[in-house]
Structure 1
């Protein structure tokens, strides 16, 4: 004799059922469709990738590429396609509606936006205006997608665990950026990160500047400001690059400004760049800053300068 599931039991099963599998089960079970809308859906990974020729939606392990005349589905090594569908934008709208839209809460661990070669984001074109995601992490390839994504983030998500984006002048005033636990800023050709920009990031636990080569980062003036005012610095800054000359130039700035605070940093377990200077800079009676350069050959940005606040005790 089979036993019927209680509502709490059914709710627990549906909420923790893999999202793609859940969507297909619900589509074949009309009796569950009303209940389904009341139960949160959990997505481990949601990626939207757009360029001039294709739109691609990835939900967990399911990848759907919307081309001009067809939609290609791939999951666990299996492929199939559907032809004769609507425009690429309409395809994306239908896919979002089928797999995501209409749930009480949409919980997303990692939301990745990979739009390329566009002057504006396509997100508003195929995401319903009232759609909200509860996120842990946001990774936006373009600043345009980042700005568009803000309106789709449930404020209950804040602070996000991780935010990855390309900065613009407005980035440093954005609450999503300023409150993120770990912030990755891909600088590229961004001209300069000023002291005032850096001050606005004092609530982040860690800020990592990626792909540094040309831009100036006013990290030395920021430390000088904290030394002068004796205000605690709460954020760990990491400046990473594949350009050894960039690292050498920054280390020269530290030597000129803080040469008297050179230290062996005994007890710090890091892969220091051989021959590079290390510093222990006092801020006040309770706070100091470690500054050191490390090498991580397995990563794209091999060299990093780490600026880390530590207890002064």
Structure 2
């Protein structure tokens, strides 16, 4: 007969168990319920919206008809219970509140109702934060453990006030979703000092990337940010590189020694900024099923 797990062994198993499975098991074991909230809780993603809560692949919907549980788009159960607000509060309390430590890989704070249900001393260890507005960043900060900063990734929209948020400024990677007819000006781009900025491009939007590079060429100021522009449309990438050809044709080259999956037949550039740095511009294939990308990458040394 196998020996029972020691507390350190049990702690290790529960901490690394997928969160929804863990709750399912804990709910059926009174002995585990006594120690559950003492053991760190690890979530891949967490979102509490107006009437929905998403924990990893579990979607919980509260409305006037009751509470619906779905896993991977398959309905698990429906319950008719008390008011929508009371039930959501109980769900948040059951899954999240009162735990010694909660680690969240991706925290979604878009119009989140979490502050309405969380205890004031609730803290999340977070890697990635999704938030739309500056006030969302400031509100979310009070629920994020200070040891999470700087965040690995922040996902938002290019609102001017967002560029002034310290959470946005300090993130290692910033992902900006460009809305329809949005222009990202040189002044906007100059404010972005993250290690990597991903510009989720909309075909009707404008990114002043060429004027930004021209600014750095003229001032000889180093550029420290790598810009990534993904696109599912071959024509968009071809059009962008055509604009680079018009502006920087003399700097076209093969980029020998650069280890990337270049898109065959498309132009590549090495644009000198000063005696110590240059900018490489090229398009790469995505080895998976995602979009191809234009890369604007600073390189030190010649």
Q: CA RMSD in A?
A: 3.3
TM-score normalised per structure 2: 0.82
Change (3 A) 1:188 1:301: farther
Q: 8 Å contact 2:108–2:129 — kept in the other structure? A: yes
Cα displacement (A) at 1:95: 0.7
Question: Is 2:267 the counterpart of 1:277?
Answer: yes
CA contact (8 A) 1:194 1:218 kept: yes
**Does 2:41 match 1:45?**
no
Deviations 1:159-191 (A, max 9, x none): 222222222111112222222222211011363
Is 2:276 aligned against 1:310? no
Aligned to 1:98: 94
Give CA-to-partner distance per residue, 1:265-285, whole Å, 9 cap, x none: 2344334374x4321111233
**Residue 16 of structure 1 contacts residue 42 of structure 1 at CA under 8 Å; is this kept in 2?**
yes
After TM superposition, list the pairs within 5 Å mapping 1:224-239 onto structure 2. Answer: 224-239=214-229
Distance 1:135 1:254, change over 3 A: same
Segments of 5+ residues of structure 2 without an aligned counterpart are none
Distance 2:235 2:15 in 1: 51
Once the 2 structures are TM-superposed, how far is the Cα of residue 297 of structure 1 from its aligned partner?
A: 11
List gaps (5 residues or longer) in structure 1.
Answer: none
User: Is 1:38–1:104's contact at 8 Å kept on the other side of the alignment?
Assistant: yes
Match 2:65 to one of 43, 60, 69? 69
The answer as to 2:80 corresponding to 1:83 is yes
Report the more deviating stretch, 162-171 or 72-81.
72-81
The more displaced of 214-223 and 250-259 is: 250-259
Q: Does 1:193 find its partner at 2:184? A: yes
2:121 maps to which residue? 130
- The TM-score normalised by the length of structure 1 is 0.79
Q: Is the 8 A contact 2:124 2:145 kept in 1?
A: yes
Q: How many residues align?
A: 299
1:31: Cα distance to partner? 5.7
Are the counterparts in 1 of residues 255 and 270 from structure 2 also a CA contact under 8 Å? yes
Q: Distance in 1 between matches of 2:272 and 2:261?
A: 21
Counterpart CA distance in 1 for 2:205 and 2:188 is 13
Where in structure 2 are the equivalents of 1:108-127 lying within 5 Å? 108-113=104-109, 121-127=112-118
Matched-pair contact (CA < 8 Å) for 1:164–1:183:
yes
User: Residues 156 and 253 from structure 1, CA distance in 2 versus in 1: closer, same or farther, beyond 3 angstroms?
Assistant: same
Deviations 1:201-220 (CA, angstroms, capped at 9, x unpaired): 22x22211113323332222
| Residues 85-108 of structure 1 deviation map (CA, whole Å, 9 limit, x = unaligned) | 222x32221111001111121101
Q: Is the 8 A contact 1:192 1:216 kept in 2?
A: yes
